[in-house]
């Protein structure tokens, strides 16, 4: 099988126009590419940065939502519910780590306590039947380190945490293995729409070809999918639309050390208010504890910095929820930007005459919904008249198991080490990542272009020491690798 992944400095392949091009290789764009890859059509994914999953998709809270609290009847509610099932099954198949830890919506005052039955009813309206109310003593039993004053909770036993990095990696790898072309370092700067009409009767769509100008040359395509995340509005405007505007809503997060993991057993959610979902405390599949996110309306789509006020706010909220957490060491601080559109739903819209689907406003649930969004978008695209042909099976993929819980990490696998001693040589001590895993990542279908990319494939360098022990070595290994 031909694998086509191109990067800066390489020309875009010439040849006939692509049948479909997906702009954006986040979790949504890669999921769409994977879904389309079932079909016998020529597909390209073009991504502005040097890696897949490098935008919002790398920086979220990594929860596989049940959708219990979505707006009932919305497209988001439907796609989150459907996406949760699809992704859970896909994860089991590919090795993406998922831990079903369950969530507790904790009420800290009478008003919050009073609103729990309403939230229970909403969950049921969303088709989620397993939620139930817990009193204060049961709650204290389930979460012994919770701060004083918790009055009760709503339990959502199926909320899970998932690996946010291997999810788009699995999608993109599978798409590339199935023949999709992935063009990295390739930003779309202009689009000349191919509006040529179809048979002229007005009821059959056009067959024109769009010309995309990118930072690496031009590319021609019949169908187009805009999965550009925060920049989906800009791409949409390049096609002459003015349907929505994306305003970034920043979420800052603090990752606590693995030694804090025993302090918390569930995802601890606040009771939602009009100000948003609020600050949560959650385990991660990597064995850490997450505190966040904040919710700040901004106008800079690159403003992924953390702030003094943001971190202070998180610590203040965290101290109330889980006082002992704040005494633990911090491993990392990061921020992600949600793609808000001032509209309480996704903005997915097909333009049949352009064979174009805009996938906008994939707010704070896009990881969960990704596979369902992909199925929905493929459906919409097929209905624009573009002939996708009959779907076939995809080549199987497996991704590195990055989760801590499974006990399947190579450094603990005697059989694997016996076959290949490189899996017994630990390079990143904090995360226990071995030479074998790093070598595999560098030789994979989608090798990383940077130490950050390597970290998202192996966890190397992500630990408590943040490079004190292994940083220089990892840089040496990554830079030596053929790019």
Is residue 427 a contact partner of residue 460, using CB atoms and an 8 Å limit?
yes
Tokens 């998932």 locate to 162
Residues pairing with 107 in the sheet: 152
We find the least distance from the C-beta atom of residue 370 to ligand FAD, in angstroms, to be 7
DSSP assignment of 331-354, as one string?
EEEEEEEEEE-SSSS-EEEEEGGG
Selected binder of another protein within 204, 305, 379, 387 (CB under 8 A): 305
Selected binder of another protein within 54, 288, 294, 331 (CB under 8 A): 331
Rounded Cα–Cα distance for residues 49 and 55 (Å)? 8
Region from 119-127, 230-238, 275-283, 422-430 binding another protein, contact rule CB under 8 A: 422-430
Q: Is 405 in the site for another protein (CB under 8 A)?
A: no
Of residues 476, 401, 468, 402, the one with CA closest to residue 429? 468
Region from 31-39, 69-77, 164-172, 330-338 binding another protein, contact rule CB under 8 A: 330-338
DSSP assignment of 398-418, as one string?
------STTS--GGG-HHHHH
Question: What's the maximum distance between 2 C-alpha atoms anywhere in the chain?
Answer: 70
132: its two tokens: 């139930």
Residues 176-195 close enough to bind another protein by CB under 8 A? none
User: Per-residue x/- mask for another protein, residues 29 to 68, rule CB under 8 A?
Assistant: ----------------------------------------
We find the least distance from the C-beta atom of residue 470 to another protein, in angstroms, to be 8
Q: Is 422 in the site for another protein (CB under 8 A)?
A: yes
204: its two tokens: 């059959």
Of residues 83, 90, 49, the one with CA closest to residue 66? 83
151: its two tokens: 């009055």
Q: What is the β-pairing status of strands 181-183 and 98-99?
A: unpaired
**Angle between the N-to-C axes of helices 451-458 and 471-480, in degrees from 0 to 180, rounded to the nearest 10:** 100
Residues that bind ligand FAD (CB under 6 A): 23-29, 46-49, 54-57, 60-63, 65, 187-188, 227-231, 235, 251, 293, 336-338, 362, 364-368
Selected binder of another protein within 234, 417, 445, 481 (CB under 8 A): 417
Q: Is 111 in the site for another protein (CB under 8 A)?
A: no
We find the least distance from the C-beta atom of residue 148 to ligand FAD, in angstroms, to be 27
Task: List interacting residues with another protein (CB under 8 A).
Answer: 254-255, 259, 302, 304-308, 310-311, 329-334, 411-412, 414-415, 417-418, 421-422, 424-426, 429, 432, 464-469, 471-473, 475-476
């Amino acid at each position: 099988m031909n694998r086509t992944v191109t990067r800066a400095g390489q020309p875009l392949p010439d040849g006939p126009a692509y049948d479909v091009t997906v702009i954006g290789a986040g979790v949504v764009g890669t999921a769409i590419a994977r879904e389309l890859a079932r079909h016998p059509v020529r597909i390209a994914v073009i991504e502005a940065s040097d890696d897949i999953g490098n935008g919002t998709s790398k920086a979220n809270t990594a929860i596989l939502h049940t959708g219990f609290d979505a707006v009932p009847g919305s497209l988001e509610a439907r796609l989150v519910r459907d996406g949760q099932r699809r992704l859970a099954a896909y994860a089991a198949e590919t090795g993406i780590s998922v831990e079903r830890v369950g969530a507790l919506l904790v009420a800290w005052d009478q008003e919050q306590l009073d609103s729990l039955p309403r939230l229970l009813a909403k969950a049921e309206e969303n088709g989620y039947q397993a939620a139930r109310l817990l009193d204060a003593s049961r709650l204290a039993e389930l979460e012994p380190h919770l701060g004083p004053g918790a009055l009760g909770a709503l339990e959502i036993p199926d909320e899970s945490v998932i690996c946010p990095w291997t999810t788009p990696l699995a999608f993109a790898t599978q798409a590339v293995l199935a023949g999709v072309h992935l063009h990295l370092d390739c930003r779309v700067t202009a689009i000349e729409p191919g509006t040529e009409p179809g048979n002229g009767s007005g009821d059959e769509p056009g067959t024109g070809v769009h010309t995309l100008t990118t930072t690496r040359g031009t590319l021609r395509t019949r169908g187009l999918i805009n999965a550009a995340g925060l920049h989906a509005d800009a791409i949409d405007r390049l096609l002459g639309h003015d349907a929505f505007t994306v305003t970034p809503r920043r979420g800052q997060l603090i990752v606590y050390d693995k030694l804090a993991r025993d302090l918390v057993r569930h995802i601890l959610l606040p009771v939602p208010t009009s100000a948003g979902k609020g600050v949560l405390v959650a385990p991660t599949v990597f064995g850490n504890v997450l505190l966040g996110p904040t919710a700040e309306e901004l106008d800079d789509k690159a403003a992924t910095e953390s702030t003094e006020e943001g971190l202070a706010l998180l610590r203040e909220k965290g101290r109330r929820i889980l006082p002992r957490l704040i005494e633990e060491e911090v491993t990392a601080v990061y921020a992600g930007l949600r793609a808000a559109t001032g509209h309480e739903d996704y903005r997915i819209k097909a333009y049949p005459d352009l064979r174009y689907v805009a996938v906008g406003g994939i707010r704070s649930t896009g990881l969960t919904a990704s596979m369902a969004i992909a199925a929905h978008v493929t459906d919409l695209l097929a209905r624009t008249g573009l002939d996708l042909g009959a779907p076939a099976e995809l080549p199987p993929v497996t991704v590195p198991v990055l989760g801590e819980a499974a006990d399947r990490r190579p450094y603990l696998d005697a059989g694997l080490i016996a076959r290949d001693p490189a899996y017994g040589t630990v390079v990143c001590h904090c995360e226990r990542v071995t030479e074998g895993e790093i070598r595999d990542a560098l030789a994979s279908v989608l090798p990383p272009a940077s130490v950050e990319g390597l970290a998202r494939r192996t966890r190397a360098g992500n630990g408590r020491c943040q490079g004190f022990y292994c940083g220089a070595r990892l840089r040496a290994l990554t830079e030596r690798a053929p790019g």
